[in-house]
Chain A
């Protein structure tokens, strides 16, 4: 329909002119000059209209060409601004503008959606309304790509937050553990101190005990020697007693001998008695004889009488001696009995002494035992004292170790904190890495600051040409190859670890190792680059 109406729109003025010219010719043939003029006038009008229309169409086509060229050149601001033209040129104008509008819409939508992705925002989709055909398909593709990226980013975020959570919980339990360990160490330190104190007190006590035991040992030794003295005294009294027994036995024997001598004396006395009786009898006989001899015999009678008197005296004397001997014998017997009694007593004493001896020996053995035990005890207390000193030493060592552990646990805690913050920083860097890198390229600021460059080969002075959040350009040649690590410092004591990325004619580029930058360095970089707090963070 459009093409037929366009055709009729294009052909109508010409057709009118041709018909009018033909009609004019017919009128001339039929001599109708007035009609011919009138129809020629119509033909002229038709030609005039056709010419105007052709110019209008040409102008419209020119404008459309202008819009199409602008579009081709990527200018989506240009439109055909002559609106509501009649006929096909009006339709061309609208069609061209409509095309520009739709391509413009697609370009704005897709670049906005991609820009959002660039800024790590994934909710922005191309709005499909008003799009059709290839534009709709392309929109769907971009949206699907964004979905995929979002899914990956979400998965990435889930795994990084899982990772962060895991690390955090590890660090927390590390810190908890080290705190517990620190607590334990500090208790151990206290305990060791207390042990040391107690050991010292036990040591003092055991030293006292030791000296007490020594005193007891001395006393026991004295007791032993006094017991030994008693023993020798007892021995000596036993010897004396045995000597006394021997003497008493000897005395008994002597006394018995005396008794026998007295008996022998008695026998002699009996003999003397018999002799005296004989003598008396002889004297009697002699007197008789003398009496018979009368005077002659008188002298003899005197001697006989004298002999008789002597015999009588002898008889008396012997009687007396016998009596004495009896007495002596009785006394001797009593003496022997008494000596025997003494012997018994002495034997008894000897037995007692023996018993005493035994008990003294038992006492000596007991005191020896005591002395030995006391010695052992002394040895024991000495060992205790020694051990206590050992314990003190161990306690002091334990205290030192505990304080070392305490220090280590503190450093573990701070290391844990550092690990946690490094991981956090790492994840932040990871999440916004592409953004920072792009910002870095866009916001590279010149500095001209003198810096120190530290690498394995040594430390150099250089100039920082410019710097961004992610790296720096440095004047000179590095003492390290591309890919190797160096450190740069803008102020003493604060080094930024970085990796050499490229080496040029008279300068080279480094990239900061983001995860290892100190807070101070990051702050300084941000200050330098003048970067506002990144919303992506």
Chain B
């Protein structure tokens, strides 16, 4: 479905008091989306249910960021990420995503939960857009997608290491 959408340069926004909420199962399939999600992304929730979360993935997002996200989740850690998402019509919207594992009563991870908030414009313009462009360029420069992602992930870690003690700390310092 996502492949058929061509991205536009129109930006969609939501209000600071709003949060975009979604839950997925362990494989990343959407099990819940709130109204704001539906309104911003342009899908009905019935359409979203059971779909992979990548339905709203924007081609400008480097894959390394999602690798980092899934690596962190695999260690049962929370993840923060500035993410550029794509609506049903190809418009884009930036979010500051916070993804956490969800547990059942036996403290087993049963899925993931994502709260997305309105991001800081300054961070998007000054940091994220140039960094992601850099990572994307690295990924595109490799014929093999796997090698590209490896190189771009290494670059991301390099950037993190040069600025802060950890990725999380860097994100909070921005």
| Interface positions of A (Cβ within 8 A of B) | 75-77, 79, 81, 83-84, 94, 97-98, 101-102, 104-105, 108-109, 112, 121, 123-125, 127, 129-130, 132
Contacts and interface: CB of A to CB of B under 8 A. Distances in A.
Contacts of A124: 168, 172
B98 A79 contact: no
Interface in B85-104: 96, 98, 100, 102, 104
Given A83-B44, A123-B173, A127-B98, A97 B34 contact: yes
Nearest to B120: A129
Given A94-B35, A129-B19, A130-B115, A81 B49 contact: yes
Contacts of A83: 35, 38, 44-46
A114 to B, nearest CB: 12
A79 B172 contact: no
Nearest to A94: B35
A112 B100 contact: yes
A432 to B, nearest CB: 15
B110 A125 contact: no
B168 to A, nearest CB: 7
A84 B44 contact: yes
B32 A81 contact: yes
B34 A98 contact: yes
A75 B103 CA distance: 9
7 contacts: A101-B21, A123-B173, A127-B96, A127-B98, A129-B16, A129-B19, A130-B19
A75 B110 CA distance: 12
Interface in B15-65: 16-19, 21, 23, 32, 34-35, 38, 44-46, 49
A104 B112 CA distance: 12
B111 interface: yes
A132 B17 contact: yes
Given A123-B168, A124-B172, A105 B19 contact: yes
B84 interface: no
B80 to A, nearest CB: 9
B117 A127 contact: yes
B65 to A, nearest CB: 19
Given A84-B44, A98-B35, A129-B117, 12 more contacts: A77-B23, A77-B104, A101-B115, A105-B115, A108-B100, A108-B115, A109-B98, A112-B100, A123-B168, A123-B173, A125-B172, A130-B16
B134 interface: no
B76 to A, nearest CB: 11
Which one of A75, A77, A94 has the greatest number of beta carbons of chain B within 10 Å? A77
B169 interface: yes
B118 interface: yes
Contacts of B168: 121, 123-124
A130 B78 CA distance: 18
A108 B114 CA distance: 10
Contact of A123 (B49, B118, B169): B169
Contacts of A108: 78, 98, 100, 113, 115
Contacts of B117: 127, 129-130
Nearest to B32: A79
A286 B23 CA distance: 217
Given A79-B32, A98-B35, A84 B45 contact: yes
Nearest to A80: B32
A105 B44 contact: no
A483 B10 CA distance: 70
A101 B173 contact: no
Nearest to A115: B78
A83 B168 CA distance: 35
Contacts of B45: 83-84
Contacts of A127: 96, 98, 117
